[in-house]
Amino acid sequence: MSSMDVVVKGKCYVEGRLYDRCIGVVDGRIAAIGANIDGERVYDFGGKLILPSAVDAHVHMRDPGATHKEDFATGSLAALHGGVTCVMDMPNTDPPTTTVAALREKANIAAAKSYSDFGLFAGVAQGCDPAALSAGVIGFKMYMAGTTGNLHVPSLESIRNELAEVASTGKVLAVHAENEALRGKGAEKSLGDHLRNRPNECETSAIRKLNNLAVPGLKTHVCHVSAKESLRFVSKSKERTFEVTPHHLLLDQDSKLSTYGKVNPPLRNRRDRQALFNALKEDLFTIVASDHAPHTIEEKEEDFDFAPCGMPGVETIVPLMLQLVRDRHISIQTFVRVLCERPAELFGLNKGRLCLYRDADIMIVDLMKSTEIKADRLHSRCAWTPYEGMSGIFPKAVFLRGEIMIEDGAWIGERAGRNVVESQRKPVEAEA
């Protein structure tokens, strides 16, 4: 066999188990997995874990339109430092990603700036043209209620035609599921008030509606499930998938975060949080994603009512979840499934798994090395984190398509982010 460009050695996670192995890389893809492989550049990590790096299927890079909060460069560098080598960007930017022109503009920006691989969502709005957008997007996004940006649809009935067109593209429809009609509009002074304005039923009824929506072939993916009552409607199938975020698992309205904890759907009660956590352990959720939604400190310091909703998370999602593995709250298998394998599978990416021909997106992990999460060590332009002081396990090294990008907390690579839509697997034809 011809020699490998790159070889990475360590305790490799292959098909659910750990083995002392070498991973050989040719042209950015895994070309061999074996006990002894030679190559031009050999990275020997001894007994450390070699895991697939993560795919974060829900981020807001704010580019274009709000680059004072984040842009593709800062956001994707933050991602790489945290072991995320592929991000999927949401369409609530300015301009919103609902037209082919806006999608092209964003694709050009991201290709010029991104350090990680990326995929782009297009927003579904009345009169949009999913067939025309389809070739450039990793999936579609629909907002059922108001949140950052102004993309929420008046009702599911009003966009039935557009949804039917989304279904015929075969791509996934990610949904922000809250029921606009059940949103309170009272003044807010605290996280408790924010929760009262977006009660559990506000989310649960939206998920129920979505589950009852009969659009043949439509694959719906419910973003950021947060209420314990919603779990009744959570079940995995090819047509319906569900996501949970670290903040809904680890924070609640009693976390002393004030406006920094203001997010949609809201941080709820401890009981909700525990129910979500149990559901994660029971493997009810398809994926975990960050909903990385940075806003500046200045914006978050506004009066409670005016402070924007959302918190950063793309750099802390892997460290926090690895800490849960270390503390034996979740298994390493669950970790790899919900952060690597399934997000890649759901969106048809050639990533998320250490097996032949996949992209060599790899992270090296030392489960004994917890560090304190501190905003001044993170890379998002927003410069704060709701997890300040909590423990996390940051990857020791990160490879993107076989090239080392991060080692010991420093970026040592060359910028190489690519749009993954070009290698997205064609959706399986909908059955007639």
Active site residues per annotation: 291
Cα–Cα distance for residue pair 366/326, rounded to 1 Å: 10
Burial level of 296, CB count in 10 A (0-12/13-18/19+)? middle
Residues 154-183 that bind Zn ion (CB under 5 A): 176
Residue 309 site contact among ligand NCD, Zn ion, none (CB < 5 to 8 Å, cut-off depends on kind): ligand NCD
Q: Are 102 and 70 in contact (CB under 8 A)?
A: no
Tokens of 47: 């007994």
Applying CB under 5 A, the site for Zn ion has a residue count of 3
Q: Contact between 226 and ligand NCD (CB under 6 A)?
A: no
Nearest to 264 by CA among 179, 205, 321, 187: 179
Residue 195 main-chain phi, psi, to 5 deg = -65, -40
Task: Please report how close the Cβ of residue 34 comes to ligand NCD at its closest, in angstroms.
Answer: 43
SS3 359: strand
Nearest to 55 by CA among 363, 276, 265: 363
Q: Contact between 293 and ligand NCD (CB under 6 A)?
A: yes
Q: Contact between 313 and ligand NCD (CB under 6 A)?
A: no
Q: Which of 11, 171, 176, 342 binds ligand NCD (CB under 6 A)?
A: 176
SS3 394: coil
Task: Please report how close the Cβ of residue 117 comes to ligand NCD at its closest, in angstroms.
Answer: 21
Tokens of 58: 């829900």
CB nearer to ligand NCD: give 85 or 148: 148
Q: Which of 188, 203, 272, 291 binds Zn ion (CB under 5 A)?
A: 291
Residues 122-151 that bind ligand NCD (CB under 6 A): 147-148
Residue 92 site contact among ligand NCD, Zn ion, none (CB < 5 to 8 Å, cut-off depends on kind): ligand NCD
Residues 309-348 that bind Zn ion (CB under 5 A): 327
Q: Which of the ranges 197-205, 291-299, 341-349, 365-373 carries the binding residues for Zn ion, by CB under 5 A?
A: 291-299
CB nearer to ligand NCD: give 73 or 309: 309
Q: Per 3-state DSSP, what percentage of the chain is helix, strand, and coil (rounded to 5)?
A: 30, 25, 45
Eight-class DSSP state of 375: G
SS3 19: strand
Residue 364 site contact among Zn ion, ligand NCD, none (CB < 5 to 8 Å, cut-off depends on kind): none
Residues near Zn ion, by CB under 5 A? 176, 291, 327
